[in-house]
Amino acid sequence: MEKKNIDWGSLGFGYVKTDKRYVMNFKNGAWDEGGLIEDDMVTISECAGVLQYAQTAFEGLKAYTTEDGRTVTFRPDLNAERLDQSCRRLEMPVLPEGTFLKAVDEVVKANWAYVPPYGSGATLYIRPYMFGSSPVIGVKPAEEYQFRMFATPVGPYFKGGAKPITIKVSDFDRAAPKGTGHIKGGLNYAMSLHAIVTAHNEGFDENMYLDAATRTKVEETGGANFLFVTKDGKVVTPQSDTILPSITRRSLVYVAQHYLGLTVEERPVYFEEVKDFAECGLCGTAAVISPVGKVVDHGKEICFPSGMEKMGPVTQKLYETLTGIQMGRIEAPEGWIREIQ
Ligand SMILES: *Cc1c(COP(=O)(O)O)cnc(C)c1O
């Protein structure tokens, strides 16, 4: 098989239809066999639970071509575990981890021609998701569900270097205490759209959400966790029950401790402290780390010493080490890399 004739470097973060996707249906209390299909269209009841009451959860992970030409995924077992937690919170059926991992392997293998080559900066983004497919009008969980997984090649997140972004402290809240902030549900994104459009219209790249209860602590952005670096080189990342447990953030914490010998504090982070940090970054699968140069709180600017031209030195090291592990240039901790045979 040959790779597709795609200009990998100029791809954006958008949807490109690939050849095969995985589909599995839950009916009468059980999952069917599941398997790959070609049809990219979903046909469900006009009254499906997902359409009426947003009963849906998703995941996001990537496949990479390593320096020595292998095709790998990065910690997909953690995506399986997180989808399990999201499904339980949304009263959806759970999927065995083995089934999830097998679907990842099959989708990547079937779309191997779309896995961007090493060095292109592009990757294959994999989107697993589950939704209530049977009709629901009285408020209750659906009886039938569909699990799907497709893949789409995405371009290098930073074209021409990672330029630090400017974010604003949002006037909106992302997650309520005891709410759903810790799960990866479409519901958390639907309600963030107005906040992000508002931020963009005001000239900001992203929102910094504070904790809804006290509005004194840093939570996360709409789709990425925060990581800060203190002036004496410690890594600090917010700990909260209402943020999404980012796999990238958890991996960066490990890399900071075990590869770079840094001290890491996972604890509540007060907004008051932000002005004293040396570096700030946003962590997620899409970009690994996006550097933040400036935080604006209702006209009051906090400018990090790392500036608006490039990533701070510690952020840069974290970025290079984790992407090195993902691309096979640096030896990975046991169990982090799943090779697609
Ligand atoms: C997916 C997501 C992240 C990033 O998680 P990763 O596992 O690192 O991709 C962070 N915050 C929110 C709200 C998310 O949905």
The pLDDT, as a whole number, for residue 162 is 84
Please determine, for residue 158, whether its predicted confidence score (pLDDT) is greater than 80: no
The pLDDT, as a whole number, for residue 28 is 98
Distance CA 292, CA 274 (A): 12
The pLDDT, as a whole number, for residue 157 is 79
The pLDDT, as a whole number, for residue 230 is 98
Q: Domains of the chain: which residue ranges?
A: 8-154, 165-326
Please determine, for residue 160, whether its predicted confidence score (pLDDT) is greater than 90: no
Residues shown for the chain: 341
What's the whole-number average pLDDT of the chain? Answer: 97
Give the position, in ligand 1's atom list, of the atom nearest the Cα of 78. 7
Q: Which residues, including other chains, have CB under 8 Å from residue 196's CB and lie 6 or more apart?
A: 206, 207, 222
Instruction: Find the mean pLDDT for residues 154-181.
Output: 92
Residue identifier of the C-alpha nearest atom 15 of ligand 1: 223
The pLDDT, as a whole number, for residue 11 is 94
Render pLDDT for 229-258 as a digit per residue (tens, 0 to 9).
Answer: 999 999 999 999 999 999 999 999 999 999
Distance CA 235, CA 232 (A): 9
How many whole angstroms from 253 Cα to the centroid of ligand 1?
A: 15
The pLDDT, as a whole number, for residue 156 is 81
Please determine, for residue 159, whether its predicted confidence score (pLDDT) is greater than 90: no
Specify the CATH number of the domain 8-154.
3.30.470.10
Please determine, for residue 45, whether its predicted confidence score (pLDDT) is greater than 90: yes
Q: Which of 340, 328, 324, 335 has its CA nearest to residue 114?
A: 340
Distance CA 269, CA 41 (A): 44
The pLDDT, as a whole number, for residue 276 is 98
How many whole angstroms from 142 Cα to the centroid of ligand 1?
A: 26
How many whole angstroms from 284 Cα to the centroid of ligand 1?
A: 5
Q: Which of 265, 245, 260 has its CA nearest to residue 314?
A: 260
Q: Is the pTM of this model over 0.95?
A: yes
Render pLDDT for 271-314 as a digit per residue (tens, 0 to 9).
Answer: 999 999 999 999 999 999 999 999 999 999 999 999 999 999 99
Specify the CATH number of the domain 165-326.
3.20.10.10
Please determine, for residue 200, whether its predicted confidence score (pLDDT) is greater than 80: yes
How many whole angstroms from 184 Cα to the centroid of ligand 1?
A: 8
Please determine, for residue 26, whether its predicted confidence score (pLDDT) is greater than 80: yes
Q: Which among 244, 253, 290 is the best mutation to test ligand 1's pocket, defined by most ligand atoms within 8 Å of the CB? A: 244
Distance CA 101, CA 64 (A): 16
The pLDDT, as a whole number, for residue 161 is 73
Please determine, for residue 216, whether its predicted confidence score (pLDDT) is greater than 80: yes
Instruction: Find the mean pLDDT for residues 150-167.
Output: 88
- Residues at CB less than 6 angstroms from ligand 1: 60, 184, 220, 223-225, 244, 246-249, 283-285
Render pLDDT for 124-137 as a digit per residue (tens, 0 to 9).
Answer: 999 999 999 999 99
Please determine, for residue 151, whether its predicted confidence score (pLDDT) is greater than 90: yes
| C-alpha distances out from residue 155 to 104, 105, 127, 224, 328, Å | 20, 21, 15, 18, 19
Which residues are tagged catalytic? 184
